[in-house]
Amino acid sequence: MLPTPNLDHLSSEDYEKVYNPAAVSLLLEDTFLFLDTLEDEVRFIKDDIKPCICLEIGSGTGCISTFLGQILGNGSTHINPHATATTIATGHRNSVLLDAITTDLTSGLLPRLNHAVDVICCNPPYVVTPHEDVHSKNILERSWAGGINGREVIDQILPLVNNLLSKNGVFYLLVINENMPDEICEKMRKEHQFQSEVVKFRLAGREKQYILKFKRCIDN
């Protein structure tokens, strides 16, 4: 059992600006589903992928980045500067050195890290909302607002992953039923030649949450 990162350095003021894994919506357990998945995948990641560079897109408190860093060492990106600072602070609190940058999705990393990242994790804004909410001025609202079918941010991330991921790399993405996981997998197969599988499923309240795992097709 790997320890869940300690978040006791964060205050209620921090959670006014940064996604709170435990309280933003009822029974929101997405962050913890991700941690469980990474724990199950540790041997595969260490032995098969042997990663040099790991990346979390949209790190929030930095809980997933720190967990990944405890295992491997890594970096993260975030559009919200408070979240970038919080991610670094969570790394410090847990004795994990993280590189975190404020950028829109991965724009600060491309093209420099083209095909250089070995593990990408993303718990994206996936909740079905009106399109306008994706661009809300309220930074907290943007942490969960996924727009039409909850897919608007996810659909921006998919081609970026194709650009960033190394030949042998792996991408983990959290989605819910409303995001149409089958269609996402099909899109990744057709447009970017990725194979996929569901590695975790959990019913959290009314949310059916999945962790999808993507790798490039072998003969690709």
Task: Return residues touching ligand SAM (CB under 6 A).
Answer: 19, 21, 30-31, 34, 58-61, 63-64, 77-80, 83, 104-105, 123-125, 142-144, 153
Q: At 32, which helix (H) or strand (E)?
A: helix 30-43
Of 45 and 216, CB closest to ligand SAM: 45
Q: How far is the CB of 34 from ligand SAM (least distance, A)?
A: 6
Q: How far is the CB of 48 from ligand SAM (least distance, A)?
A: 24
How far apart (Å, rounded) are the C-alpha atoms in residues 18 and 178?
24
Find, among 209, 108, 105, 212, the residue nearest to 161 by Cα: 105
Of 162 and 195, CB closest to ligand SAM: 162
Of 75 and 125, CB closest to ligand SAM: 125
**In this chain, which residue has its C-beta nearest to ligand SAM?**
58
The per-residue b/e assignment along 66-102, b for 16 or more CB within 10 angstroms, e otherwise, is bbbbbbbebbbbbbbebbbbbbbbbbebbebebbbee
Of 31 and 196, CB closest to ligand SAM: 31
Q: How far is the CB of 219 from ligand SAM (least distance, A)?
A: 33
Find, among 33, 14, 15, the residue nearest to 202 by Cα: 33
Q: How far is the CB of 168 from ligand SAM (least distance, A)?
A: 24
Q: How far is the CB of 196 from ligand SAM (least distance, A)?
A: 20
How far apart (Å, rounded) are the C-alpha atoms in residues 120 and 107?
15
Of 78 and 151, CB closest to ligand SAM: 78
Cα–Cα–Cα angle for 21, 159, 87, rounded to 5 degrees = 30
How far apart (Å, rounded) are the C-alpha atoms in residues 139 and 41?
32
Of 42 and 217, CB closest to ligand SAM: 42
Q: At 186, which helix (H) or strand (E)?
A: helix 181-192
Q: How far is the CB of 47 from ligand SAM (least distance, A)?
A: 25
